[in-house]
Chain A
Amino acid sequence: MSASLEKGVRVLKEVIDAPIASYFSSCVHCGLCAEACLFYTETRDPKYTPIHKLEPMRRLYEQEYTAIGRLKKLIGLSKAVTDAELAEWQELVYNSCTLCGRCSVVCPVGNDIVYMVRKFREGMSASGNAPDGLKGASNRTITIGSPMGIKLPAVKAQMRHVEEDFGLPIPLDMEGAEYMVMLSSMEIMNFPEYLGAIAKIMNQAGKTWTLCSTAFEATNAGMQIGNSDLARVIVSRIVDGAEKLKVKTVISPECGHAYTALRWEGANLVGRPFGFKVKHIIEVLAEFKEQGLLRTEGFETDRLTFHDPCQLARRGGVIQQQRTLMNMVASNFVEMPDAGFMNWCCGGGGGASAIEEGEELRLEAFMKKKTQLDAVKPDRLVTACANCRIVMEEGLEHYRMKLPIVGLTEMIAEHIPDPVPTETDGK
């Protein structure tokens, strides 16, 4: 057994807990999880059946934690997990799994399959079997500060542009602000209008907010690759920043997995409950609306539909809020089949979009989204995740579909009346 495999096996043995043992013991091979997985439905290749993606981990569980399995191992009746096998499984555990969690909600015996894939990735990563694209993203996040290699000066440059365009200040490192706003690299590079939208929304709501110079990046490649040590380092920056600035709430950007990393995994990674709240921007907007702090005027009149990011809706419990917000500004909002809790993934979540060699499969899986879109034929697609947005833009381009995609926060902000000057300005 190679040293890396030994390490991987040790990590896997550590992550196997009672839920995983119960799940493996409950599987009856009914195959229903395949029907919930877009990598199976679009390819019809049975190897993409979600529970099959866990086969090496299942055998290890059996060999290490069951009496019968130990007996079989002793008399040489069981097949040990090998380096070659784990290497073969890379495609199944990463490229063809976006951690969307549809399999987990259809399993009749209640197996939370995606919970297990997330844990299996810990062993895959420790044994050196993670894809290069994700290794690169994690390394850049650790050494440079962001998966796309963005540093603070780039953020500051965007802040200046947005301040000029929107005429509103973008506070940095303001101690005692109520909200600390996080960004994803994707937003800094490709969608700076998100930052402008936040400035407008906060200005109207009369809330104090700030960016943090030591923690502006919300995405967490450490979680995607399945390395809790790296994930902890990345999330600790945000925790330290929020505590240093004494903010009440940290706002996760329009990014699904950043929300999961911060909202659900964060406290568990650092090993203590947070002293601040974590909310997705969509939750914050919905709260502002409820409190009368978000007022919009006018409506988009073209046909709009909404793509639910998996980590926000099915895995995060934010399902109604985005619909309330859509109805605030859209007069022709239509739902795709399976929208909301059962929505289909864009195909690039859970780090999959960072895996170059997975692109062909990703585009094939995008047929699912195409089918959903073809059913309602929208003029524009709205979503609340910058990664979904990029992945879907690539998919749409591949299938030659002309369909603009917009972020919900940015669309809401466009309907906020321009700020009335608070000073007389001598005019």
Chain B
Amino acid sequence: MSEMQLLTWARGTGLDLAISIFVLGVLLRLFEIYSLGRKKDLSEPRTVSGASGMNTVFRRSLPPPGMLKNSPITYIGGYIFHIGLAIIVFLFAPHIKLFQDLVGISWPGLPSQLVDFATVLTIVAMLIVLADRIMKPVKRYLSTFQDWFTWALTFLPVLTGWMAVHHLLLPYTTMLALHILTVELLLVCLPFTKLFHAFTVFGSRWFSGAVNGHKGVAV
């Protein structure tokens, strides 16, 4: 298979397959989680403003008092690479073009130099959180194969994308094919790994906020 054929497969059949598995996987996982339901709370609620599921969905994006100072790498590193990933995925012009081809809607992107800057920051932040995972006893203790694997799954598309744009190491066609293939691998694995927090984070925060909000505690 030539480089061009590989790229064609990645852009065609590969992408279709990956997206299908991703969509079905997400639906299956959401169903198997949320169909478990929960019992109605029969205790008398105490209503306090700011204490609800929706409040916690937003509020939990900010560190609770004292925590930022306690774990700066986790918080700052986490913010940078999450925001960075969002910028790269949703605000890079070629990606927007892809979304337009796939679902028919588009939106304005950011200048490519800015996206490039965000990418470099994201790469650095991801390397730092990886080092933190290796060095910090708690993180190392908690880490399983999945933690290292999902880090790589997330990192590779960013790295290959950036290298493709800058024509580094491999011919553009090959690097682009690799980039698309790593994204496809990410899509296929996302529903079945901890990366699925991208979806369940909203449900989890909501449950937490609602359960505690019932008691009048704004968590």
Once the chains bind, are A110 and B48 in contact (CB under 8 Å)?
Answer: no
Chain A residue nearest in CB terms to B147 = A29
Q: Complex formed: what's the CA distance from A313 to B136 in Å?
A: 32
Q: Is the CB of B139 within 8 A of A29?
A: yes
Given contacts A25-B200, A46-B137, contact A110 B42 (CB under 8 A): no
- Binding-face segment, B89-97, B169-177, B211-219: B211-219
**CA A28 to CA B77, docked complex, whole Å:** 14
Contact yes or no, B192 A26, CB < 8 A: no
Bitwise interface map of B from 59 to 73 toward A, beta carbon under 8 Å scored 1, else 0: 011011111001100
Query: Cβ of B205 < 8 Å from any Cβ of A?
Result: yes
Instruction: Report B-chain residues with C-beta under 8 Å of the C-beta of A46.
Output: 137-138, 140-142
- The answer to whether B101 has its CB under 8 Å from any CB of chain A is no
List, in ascending order, chain B residues with CB within 8 A of A274's CB. 43-44
User: Within B9-57, which residues are at the interface with A (CB < 8 Å)?
Assistant: 28-29, 32-39, 41-44, 46, 48, 51, 56-57
Is B109 interfacial (CB-CB < 8 Å)?
A: no
- Assess the A112–B212 pair: CB atoms within 8 A: yes
Q: How far is the CA of A268 from the CA of B60 in the complex (A)?
A: 28
Interface pair B71/A32, CB less than 8 Å apart: yes
Contact with A along B174-218 (1 / 0, CB 8 A): 000000000000000000101011001101111111011001110
Contact of A317 among B29, B64, B205, B215 (CB under 8 A): B215
In the bound complex, do residue A29 and residue B217 qualify as a contact, i.e. CB atoms below 8 Å apart? no
With a 10 A CB-CB cut-off, give which of A34, A278, A316 has the most chain B CB atoms.
A34
Number of interface residues, chain B, beta carbon within 8 A: 59
Contact of A47 among B63, B67, B74, B141 (CB under 8 A): B141
CB distance from B33 to the nearest CB of A (A): 4
**Cβ of A22 and Cβ of B141 under 8 Å apart?**
no
Task: Report the bound CA distance from A47 to B141 in whole Å.
Answer: 8
State in angstroms the CA–CA spacing of A272 and B51 once bound together: 24
Contacts of B212 in A (CB 8 A): 104, 112
A31-B139, A51-B142, A65-B32 known; A268+B67 contact, CB < 8 A: no
A106 to B207, CA, bound (A): 15
Instruction: Write the nearest CB–CB distance from A287 to chain B, whole angstroms.
Output: 13
Looking at the complex, which of A259-267, A298-306, A357-365, A380-388 is the stretch in contact with chain B? A259-267
Q: Which residues of A lie under 8 Å from residue B60 when comparing CB positions?
A: 107-110
A17-B37, A267-B42, A268-B42 in contact; A110/B141 too (CB < 8 A)? Answer: no
Additional A-B contacts beyond A19-B38, A22-B200, A66-B32 (5; CB < 8 A): A22-B33, A26-B200, A35-B70, A47-B141, A273-B44
Q: Which 9 A-B pairs have the closest CB atoms?
A: A110-B205, A46-B141, A317-B216, A31-B138, A267-B42, A19-B207, A110-B204, A29-B142, A21-B33
